[in-house]
Structure 1
Amino acid sequence: MNKRYSLIFVVIAVLVFSFLYAAGLFGNKDVTAQDFVNLQQSAKPYFGFRRAHAKGVCLQGEFIANGALAPFSQSSLFQAGSNTFTGRFSIAGNNPLAPDLAAPVRSFALSFTTTDGEHWRTGMNTPPVVAVRTPEAFFEQLTALSPDPATGKPDPSKIKAFFQAHPESATFNHWKQQYQATSSFATEQYHSINAFYLIDAKGQRRAARWAAVPQATDKQPENAIANAGPDALQLELAARLAQQPVKFDLMFTLANQTDDETDPTVLWPDDREQVNAGTLVITQWQAQQDGTCNGITFDPLVLPKGIEATKDPILNARGAAYAESYRRRAKETLLQQTNQPQQGAH
């Protein structure tokens, strides 16, 4: 199996499994969020950094809503007008020093606070789906991806057997086989993966997913910046923003009655109604350590009036892991600021 594809499987499986396990969805009440973040961060954590998607850059910009989504959601965010946001581009993994182009998954996170006090946080990723839909299947997936003690590498036969036993992974497998990473954060498409309910002014709800679709047309393969060093994506973004803002359309796909909003392994058909809610305009970037995004936990369950969580078990299991990761890095940052040394700091 291609090394990059194997990394994609590992990254997605570990992240989702950590959310599920931290929430106690495997029935083992002795395992806590603390235990699983221990596993996520590895034996030598990078103090002060996020335990997942540790390397990234902060963003500033505004969302210019066109009002098209307002009939579907009560949130003031979707009324015609603009709201500022703080965001973050990042790569998968727990190493804040990792080469940008080595990561198999890229992410785009956003945090909004409106003038009337609403809050919305969303984390979007390059994969549009995950491979399996239940906690038990994720556990099996992690087992199949675990290194063989004899070789130190995953056993391809176990991986193959796992996916043959889980036909629901077909959509994810198709995506990873055809996915070609680009040379810019600005030319990737990012997906909510999970579905949410939009709640209109009458209290009626409609399941939806969303995606940040790039307006940039200068899409190139990532090998175009292969010689730019370990921070290739960050350097490309800085150069691009020095010329002009980076823009994405915020596209919502609306489910119909045949779609299962609790199943993140299935892509909804292309003929589903789509609504362009407006334009995300990124105007500035900052290094993350002193940036405005560093103190934000991009918990997707922080939702404004007019958006509600579905019963997707993956979506509803993420809060505990996010909170524990934030608690650790906040403590570590405080200790570093007060010059209290910790063992194992990088």
Structure 2
Amino acid sequence: MPLPTDEKLLALANDLLQQFDQLFGLNPGFRAAHAKGIMLRGVFTPAPNAASLSRAPHFIRESTPVSLRFSNSTGVPVIPDNDPNADPRGMAVRFHLAERVHTDIVSHSVDGFPTHTGQEFLEFLKAVAATKADSPHPTPVEAFLGTHPAALAFVQTPKPAPSSFARETYYGVTATRFITREGTARYGRYRLLPDAGNDHLTADEVAKKDANYLHDEIVSRVAAGPVKFKIVAQLANEGDEVNDATIHWPEDREIFTIGDLVLTHPVEDNQAEQKHVIFDPIPRVDGIEPSDDPLLELRAAIYLLSGRRRRSA
């Protein structure tokens, strides 16, 4: 994917990347955010009526091979799985449509995002970095949250640790536009639902876990049998805001089943593959288009800048 030509957008992406470095340190060969992770392979099978939502190739074909990455939050490659800062967890899925042709879903375990724009997100990260243990109240981050209710709501949303990467629900951050063969379109946000159901740990239970418990558990789990998720989309109604990741749609909105994701084994050379792959939040496939959410182009630019730096390390 190419870097954006918008110089202001590119400058903001670089500023955000530098801010991640300030928060988490420079860790050559790793992501600036969600640095610790593990990749698996599997297959996606569309639901019988998936084509009634989109003409995208993987919605129509009998099945499509996938690779997937589970991850912890932060840019610290050795963050313990039982560290509260490791939430929200991440899940990125790549659908392999042809040789060097793919489309991705990038999601995390909280429904929403703290800010509407990249500039606001940069201000949020700067406030976090400027807040020290001895900072007088209101601290920089308290002052930011006091004037940004969406960020406050995101921070206050419970983020309990899962017992397994396979027992957590993951949410697409931004909306996408699904288009059928006939040209009809609906906006929606992905949700990835674990077949095993959600299962979260108490703070005491998490504290007793090993620092690598999630990564070890998912390897053991997939060795014992396939790990399954259902991919669905929460569809927007006419008039719903589709270009602001901080706005939740009402829970009465239609949940459309897209298909089943079945994970069968870890990626062979896991660290090398994680270093190489650059996930893309923009669909870039016929039948699925991005919304006009300002976070999309910015996130794509950050992922690409971080990925190129990671590959060259």
TM-score bin, normalised by smaller chain: 0.7 to 0.9
Residue 59 of structure 1: how far off its partner (Å): 0.7
- Do the aligned residues in 2 keep the contact of 1:62 with 1:85 (CA within 8 Å)? yes
Tell me if 1:141 matches 2:141.
Answer: no
Q: CA 1:218–1:270 in structure 2 vs 1: closer, same or farther (change >3 Å)? A: closer
Task: State the match for 1:130 in structure 2.
Answer: 113
Deviation of 1:245 after TM superposition, in Å, equals 1.2
Q: How much does 1:203 deviate?
A: 2.1
2:159 match: 179
1:199 and 2:179 matched: yes
Over the aligned positions, Cα root-mean-square deviation in angstroms equals: 2.8
- Distance of 2:308 and 2:171 partners within structure 1: 27
1:121 aligns to what? 104
Which shifted more, 211-220 or 246-255?
211-220
TM-score, L = length of structure 1: 0.79
Larger Rg: 1
Q: Distance in 1 between matches of 2:147 and 2:128?
A: 14
Work out whether residues 34 and 75 of structure 2, in 8 Å CA contact, stay in contact via their aligned partners in 1.
yes
CA distance change for structure 1 residues 100 and 318 in 2, over 3 Å: closer, same or farther?
A: same
Counterpart of 1:40 in structure 2 is 20
Counterpart in the other structure of 1:322: 303
Say if 2:275 and 2:310, in contact at 8 Å, map to a contact too. Answer: no
Matched AA of 1:241: V
CA distance in 1: counterparts of 2:111 and 2:53, whole angstroms: 22
Structure 2, unpaired ranges of 5+: none
In the alignment, is the contact (CA less than 8 A) between 2:283 and 2:290 conserved in 1? no
Amino acid across the alignment from 1:288: N
Aligned match of 1:243: 224
Q: Aligned partner of 1:84: which letter? A: P
Deviation at 1:152, TM superposition (A): 5.8
Residues of 2 paired with 1:186 and 1:205: CA distance?
Answer: 31
CA positional deviation for 1:322: 1.4
Aligned to 1:268: 249
Structure 1 residues 116 and 96: CA distance shift in structure 2, 3 A: closer
Structure 1 alignment gaps of length 5 or more: 1-19, 333-346
What SS is found at the alignment partner of 2:301? Answer: helix
- The 3 A distance-change label for structure 1 pair 315 and 173 is same
1:112 aligns with 2:92: no
2:312 — aligned with what?
A: 331
SS in structure 1 of the partner of residue 279 of structure 2: coil
Corresponding residue of 2:262: 281
Tell me, yes or no, if the aligned pair for 1:59 and 1:293 is still in contact at 8 Å.
no
Distance of 1:211 and 1:106 partners within structure 2 = 14
SS of residue matched to 1:24:
helix
> Could you tell me how far apart the structure 2 residues matched to 1:55 and 1:185 are?
13
Is the Cα–Cα contact under 8 Å of residues 86 and 293 in structure 1 kept in the other structure?
no
Tell me which amino acid in the other structure corresponds to 2:173. I
Query: What SS does the corresponding residue of 2:50 show, helix, strand or coil?
Result: coil
TM-score normalised per structure 2? 0.86
The answer as to whether partners of 1:146 and 1:154 remain within 8 angstroms in 2 is no
Q: In 2, distance between residues paired with 1:108 and 1:55?
A: 12
* Contact 1:225-1:232 at 8 Å conserved across structures: no
Q: Distance in 2 between matches of 1:40 and 1:225?
A: 26
Deviations 1:199-244 (A, max 9, x none): 1112232111011111114724165464442211111111211222
Partner residue, 1:255: 236
Deviations 1:258-313 (A, max 9, x none): 211001111111111111111111111246314x4442101111432110011100
Q: Is the 8 A contact 1:145 1:154 kept in 2?
A: no
The answer for the alignment partner of 1:97 in structure 2 is 78
Native 8 Å contact 1:184 1:233 kept in 2: yes
Q: Indicate the residue corresponding to 1:49 in structure 2.
A: 30
**Is the CA contact (8 Å cut-off) linking 2:114 and 2:152 kept in structure 1?**
yes
Query: Kindly tell me: are residues 134 and 329 of structure 1, through their superposed partners in 2, closer, same or farther at Cα, counting changes over 3 Å?
Result: closer
Name the amino acid aligned to 1:132. T
Partner-residue secondary structure (3-state), 2:82: helix
* Structure 1 residues 161 and 35: alpha-carbon distance in aligned structure 2, compared to 1, 3 A threshold: closer
Deviation per residue, 1:100-156 (Å, 9 max, x gap)? 12112210111112259752112110111112213443344334333346x565855
Distance in 2 between the 1:24 and 1:72 partners?
35
Q: Give the Cα–Cα distance (whole angstroms) in 2 for the partners of residues 285 and 155 of structure 1.
A: 47
